[in-house]
Amino acid sequence: MSALARAERLFAELAEISADPPGVTRASFGTIETAAHAMIRREAEAIGLIHHTDAVGNLYVTLQGKDQNAPVLMTGSHLDSVPHGGNFDGAAGVLAGLVMLERLAEGPPLRCDVILMVIRAEEMIWFPTHYLGSRAAFGLLPPETPDQLRRSDTGRTLADHMAEAGFEPQAIRDGKPQLDPQKIKTFVEVHIEQGPVLVDADLPIGIVTGIRGNIRHRFARITGETTHAGGVPRRRRRDAVLAGVELVASLEEWWQAAEVAGEDMVLTIGEFSTDPLQHGITKVPGLVTFTLDVRSQDEALLSRFAAFLHSQASDIAARRRVDIDLGTSTQAAASPMSRDIQQGLIAAAHACGIAHMEIPSGGGHDCATFASLGVPSGMIFIRNRNGSHNPDEAMEFDDFSRATDVLTKWGLMVSN
């Protein structure tokens, strides 16, 4: 069986074991994620590769090199998914890494170990911690993390789920690292693109320039006054919706200006709602809750946007006589990819005769954990119609094949 035939079979098997119409569900530290890890272990043994699982559940499949003291080449991604999501988000990177290892195993021994890391719990929809598995591997999580609840379904703690799967939540509490970044030469992650850029450009792969940082407000609210829709003139109203609409419109104007200036930025108001139990067609709305997510590769732009956001909120609140409380915010730093890695991947694509483009990553990925620790890191995006985190993910297998060609060529270039 060829490495690509194995990957195609495994995509189908993953879809079958995790089917949850209309898509697939592989919950973090759930039985299906565990079964998916078992599939990779089974295939690694069939290929003749060694493997081990660390205390927090991450799986490592290793093609041993000649020098066991040399820094290792790593690739990998995750196997969990969002509820009713698509079959390729995360899994494409894991199976691309397995293809690379199988191909490299057919050639002469390499100088260093090449390792596929199958990462636990990347999707923070299950537990409210980003990059949970990769950050746990480096001992980076707060000690209280195992007490977090999986609110979306079971209501049980991360510690419960880890212990049930045979892992050690105490390793997280103790900040016990499973990996040493000083022993990793480089990390490259393959992933489907989560937007339409490669589709629009009619290109099979992209070389990622960086992972956008973000500022997120999850619990913003505008409080005005609920009054009669027919009896109160505009000048007397404290309308929470109109205040929110003005704020959102001003933020979009700022975004448009940033785009015109050639700056990198995306902005999303993911939730914007009144309380249906309190508001109705004949009431002036007195409360709006909303979320805000702004992302950019440029930390200075994020800082400028935050200043504008707070200034606009203050101004609109004063003029419209409402209270705008943006709530607490979280911020993730942008993670530029190693320029040397980008150039190496570009060279590999040229050597394989595969058309490509440079592209930023709007979504977060475990690769950012490695980059934040100084590990030279890079990413390959695969063209994917219909976005991700939905059952309609549509990666073409030929595009996956091209990505594995580039990854393997690059692996040969840097591991000898």
Check if the beta carbon of residue 56 is closer than 8 Å to that of residue 138: no
Question: What is residue 188's predicted lDDT score, i.e. its pLDDT?
Answer: 98
Question: What is residue 13's predicted lDDT score, i.e. its pLDDT?
Answer: 98
Reply yes or no on whether the pLDDT at 406 is more than 90.
yes
Task: Express each pLDDT in 345-366 by its tens digit.
Answer: 999 999 999 999 999 998 889 9
Question: Residue 24 is inside which H or E element, if any?
Answer: strand 23-24
Q: How far apart are CA 220 and CA 325, in angstroms?
A: 6
Q: How far apart are CA 378 and CA 383, in angstroms?
A: 17
Question: What is residue 338's predicted lDDT score, i.e. its pLDDT?
Answer: 96
Q: How far apart are CA 3 and CA 42, in angstroms?
A: 14
Q: How far apart are CA 379 and CA 365, in angstroms?
A: 9
Task: Express each pLDDT in 215-237 by its tens digit.
Answer: 999 899 999 999 999 999 999 99
Task: Express each pLDDT in 17-44 by its tens digit.
Answer: 999 999 999 999 999 999 999 999 999 9
Q: How far apart are CA 313 and CA 308, in angstroms?
A: 8
Banded pLDDT at 83 (limits 50, 70, 90): very high
Reply yes or no on whether the pLDDT at 116 is more than 80.
yes
**CA dihedral of 207, 94, 265, 376, whole degrees rounded to 10:** -60
End-to-end CA distance of the chain: 26
Reply yes or no on whether the pLDDT at 292 is more than 80.
yes
Task: Express each pLDDT in 365-383 by its tens digit.
Answer: 999 999 999 999 999 999 9
Task: Express each pLDDT in 244-253 by its tens digit.
Answer: 999 999 999 9
The mean pLDDT value for 268-281 works out to 91
Q: In the chain, what percentage of residues exceed pLDDT 90?
A: 92
Which domains, from first to last, does the chain contain?
3-212+334-414 (3.40.630.10), 213-332 (3.30.70.360)
The mean pLDDT value for 309-328 works out to 97
Reply yes or no on whether the pLDDT at 1 is more than 80.
no
Q: Average per-residue pLDDT in the chain? A: 96
Check if the beta carbon of residue 349 is closer than 8 Å to that of residue 207: yes
The verdict on pTM exceeding 0.75 is: yes
Question: What is residue 273's predicted lDDT score, i.e. its pLDDT?
Answer: 96
CB atoms within 10 A of CB 234: 8
Listing DSSP states for 30-71 in one string gives: SHHHHHHHHHHHHHHHHHT-EEEE-TTS-EEEEE--S-TTSP
Using alpha carbons, select from 209, 297, 311 the residue that is nearest to residue 258: 297
